[in-house]
Amino acid sequence: MRCPFCQHDNDRVLDTRANEDGFSVRRRRCCNNCRRRFTTYERVEEIGIRVIKKDLVREPLSREKIRGGIETACWKRPPSRERIDSVVEGIVAEIHGQFEDEVSSRQVGEIVMKHLAPLDAVAFVRFASVYQEFDSLDDFVNVLSGRQQASGTGDTTS
């Protein structure tokens, strides 16, 4: 591992911890040259699931694209980066658990919406409005009324 500060390739591991997701390891390291400390993350290499887009183009499942869509939906909203990271990990784990080779972008969007709804109601509606291409106010009302029925309450601000 190269030190990000001096580029020297001799370091020692000070601490190793498994992350909560069970698929990655966090290592705290110290460079033997400059003595600065840094953190690295190791992740299990995932099977290459491909996403089938609307135009039938296939591209690799991208954790960063999922995170970007959720961060955009959560813009100026309370969910922390840690909560968003946790949701992204849950989404990716669910996709890997349900699909082997390919998944449609529609199915990815549905899974994202399922995980986003309990995180933040406003972010859920923002994501749904882009994902489902809302054209009118009725589209918003339909999504909100469907969310109310799914939660069993009349409160859509949770």
pLDDT above 80 for 139: no
pTM of the entire structure? 0.64
pLDDT in tens, 20-44: 767 789 999 999 999 999 999 887 7
CA–CA separation, 108 vs 75, rounded Å?
21
pLDDT in tens, 73-85: 999 999 999 999 9
Query: Quick one: CA dihedral 72, 75, 77, 81, positive or negative?
Result: positive
Beta bridge partners of 103: 51
